[in-house]
Amino acid sequence: MGLRIRHWQYGLLLGTAFIGGAVIGPNLGLLTRALAQGASHGDMYEMLKIFGDVMERVRAEYVDPVDDKELIENAINGVLTGLDPHSSYMNAKAFKDMQIQTKGEFGGLGIEVSEDKGMIKVVSPIDDTPAARAGIKPGDYITALNGKTVIGLSLNDAVDRMRGPPNSKIVLTIKRQNVDKPIEVPLIRETIRIQVVKSRPEPHDIGYVRLSQFTEQADSGIRQAIKKLRDQNGGKLKGLVLDLRNNPGGLLDQAVAVSSDFISQGEIVSTRARHPEDSQRWDAKGDDILHGAPLVVLINGGSASASEIVSGALQDHRRAVLLGTRSFGKGSVQTVIPLPGNSAMRLTTARYYTPSGRSIQALGITPDVRVQESREAPQSFGGEHEADYNRVLSNEGGTGAQALPPRTDLPAIAKQIPDKPPENFPKLDLAKPDQTDFQLQQALAVVDAMVAQQSASAN
């Protein structure tokens, strides 16, 4: 049975805080000969021989004794992390942590991180967690944990150190764009139970729903939130703002299901793999739970993977107006392949494409109405998108932005929306979103105009 047949496509994982006695001898020789026989390059045998020599020399002469299992795991992880930012090896603990994460409950700080140029970068804090309440921001770099540098730590090691028993303390040292001095952030660990969906009614029979992650509860949470909003509005729901900002992704089946909540038929997303027989397509399989009511989707640089699949599908089908800033650009598929000893490898196996054929990879989704969160220039320290990473997978095979003709269905107010807040606009306070969240204010203005436009067309 070939390796490709044994693939377990676990879903869209950003490769972040989900994670987080072999002895070199005769077996390596067998592996060397097997790979060398099938290699297309004549130096394969020689390189594997060098690998074996290096491992033996480390075991025999390194200044301190080394654990054989750890040595092999590091070697395996090096093979995978050298490919792209999202391929990696997960030992038994990391694999279990990933499975717990996708169920929506795990221990720690509630922070999504990735490795970037040897540093630990914050992708986004998770709502209502110690990290979010302490003001950790997307784009921050974690430079030290409890005063000890993270230089030299793998992503898995850094995540392990950030996790710990509830009520235990940890101090993160942060490097932030436009801040000269390091920022020390004391945190108290908690058991993180993610409430992935939050909702509230807005004026004029409009609803607001925020989806913070695509866990197993995403689709059911969206449906419950829509029902609750209708009940709160006396059975009416004339329009909706769906907030996917700083949503780092999650499970593919949930991205398809959430898209199907608003698209009744047609393609949601497709994948193209190295082997054509492994390419796939997912279509809508539901009814529009809004019954055609106007929909505005909020996205930003922290919206990644599953968030981009949903926003890309809604945009291509002209089912929603996207407002905010360009998304992260994580358009690659990671297949989780279980390995002996309850470990697993996460391997990039395909690219994602929107219904119109656009590749999300390294480009992201461009909003229909561009609106910044603040007047400050977007963060640029180390970059904030997939394209800024080292060893990033290229964007190939897509139709490009030209696949979508210019929109002619936007309400007139869309042209009047400013791309940044006015002078002296209050700083974002999540406790007062309707007064301080400029992007949300503009989204509500657009959906109000869309409701009025739809009503006028019906008369």
Span 323-340, pLDDT tens digits: 999 999 999 999 999 999
Do 149 and 266 share a structural domain?
A: no
Question: Is 13 part of a structural domain of the chain?
Answer: no
Q: Which H/E stretch holds residue 208?
A: strand 206-211
Tokens of 97: 């942590």
Return the pLDDT at 63.
97
> 72 lies in a domain?
yes
Full residue range of the structural domain in which residue 39 is found: 21-85
Is 417 among the domain residues? yes
Examine the residue annotation and report whether 148 is marked as an active-site residue of this protein.
no
Q: Which residue, of 141, 162, 193, is where some domain finishes?
A: 193
* Average of per-residue pLDDT values in the chain: 86
Please, which pLDDT band fits residue 100 given cuts at 50, 70 and 90? confident
In a domain, 98, yes or no: no
Active-site hit among 87, 260, 305, 307: 305
Q: Look up tokens 């992704």; give the residue.
A: 249
E strand or H helix at 295: strand 295-299
What pLDDT does 41 receive? 62
Backbone dihedral angles phi then psi of residue 434, each to the nearest 5 degrees: -70, -20
Find the distance separating the first CA and the last CA of the chain, reported in whole Å. 62
Is residue 188 in a domain?
Answer: yes
- Options 127, 140, 219, 316, the catalytic residue: 316
What pLDDT shows up at residue 21? 23
Q: Tell me the mean pLDDT in the region 120-134.
A: 88
CA distances 41 to 34, 35, 44, 48, 327, Å, are 13, 10, 6, 12, 39
State residue 8's pLDDT score: 39
Q: Which segment of 13-17, 187-191, 426-430 scores lowest on mean pLDDT?
A: 13-17
pLDDT of residue 127: 79
Q: Which pLDDT band holds residue 98 (cuts at 50, 70, 90)?
A: confident
Helix locations, 233-299, DSSP H? 252-260
Domain of residue 450, CATH code: 3.90.226.10
Residues 73 and 163 in one domain: no
The reply to whether 114 and 238 lie within a common domain is: no
**Residue % of the chain over a pLDDT of 70:** 88
pLDDT at residue 328, as a whole number = 94
What's the CA dihedral at 378, 380, 383, 384 to 10 degrees?
-20
Q: Are residues 166 and 136 in the same domain?
A: yes
Which residues are CB-neighbours of 228 under 8 A, at least 6 positions away? 199
Identity of the residue numbered 366: T
**Judgement on whether residues 240 and 370 belong to the same structural domain of the protein:** yes
What's the rounded Cα separation, in Å, for the pair 289 and 96? 35
Task: Flag whether pLDDT at 318 surpasses 50.
Answer: yes
Task: Judge contact between 168 and 135, C-beta under 8 A.
Answer: no
Closest by CA position to 440, among listed 234, 165, 243, 177: 243
Whether 121 and 201 map to the same domain: the answer is no
**Statement to judge: residues 307 and 409 lie in one domain:** yes
Looking at the predicted structure, is the pLDDT value of residue 33 above 50? no
Average pLDDT on 176-188 reads 94
Provide CB contacts within 8 A for 298, sequence distance 6+. Answer: 241, 242, 243, 244, 245, 322, 323, 324, 439, 440, 443
| Number of domains present in the structure of the chain | 3
How far apart CA 416 and CA 221 sit, in angstroms, is 34
361 confidence band (pLDDT: 50, 70, 90): very high
Position 415 scores a pLDDT of 94
Give the burial string for 383-409 (b: 16+ CB within 10 Å, else e). Answer: ebbbebbeebbebeebeeeeebeeeee
Nearest C-alpha neighbor of 355 from the set 309, 421, 288? 309
| Domain boundary, last residue among 193, 219, 237 | 193
Across 25-46, b (16+ Cβ under 10 Å) vs e yields eeebeeebeeebeeeeeeeeee
Q: Is the pLDDT of residue 269 over 70?
A: yes
Catalytic residue among 88, 260, 330, 368: 330
Residues 368 and 452 in one domain: yes
Q: Which among 267, 314, 255, 355 is positioned nearest to 10, based on CA atoms? A: 255
Listed in sequence order, the residues at least 6 apart from 281 whose beta carbon sits closer than 8 Å to its beta carbon are 267, 269, 270, 271
- Return all residues near 326 (Cβ < 8 A) that are at least 6 apart: 299, 301, 364, 365, 366, 367, 385
DSSP 349-402: EEEEE-TT--B-TTT----SEE--SSSSPPP-TT-SSGGGSTTPPP--S---GG
Instruction: Give Cα 94 to chain centroid, integer Å.
Output: 18
310 & 367 share domain? yes
pLDDT reported for residue 377: 60
pLDDT of residue 104: 66
Mean pLDDT value of segment 438-446: 98
| 212 and 267 together in one domain | yes
Active site residue 305: yes
357 and 232, same structural domain?
Answer: yes
Are 226 and 250 within 8 A, CB to CB? Answer: no
Q: Tell which of 193, 211, 242 closes a domain.
A: 193
Determine whether 330 is an active site residue: yes
pTM of the model: 0.77
Whose CA is closest to 262, among 195, 326, 317, 225? Answer: 317
Lowest mean pLDDT among 10-14, 152-156, 350-354: 10-14
pLDDT at res. 402: 66
Average pLDDT over residues 22-49: 54
Residue 373 lies in a domain: yes
Q: 135 and 259 share a domain?
A: no
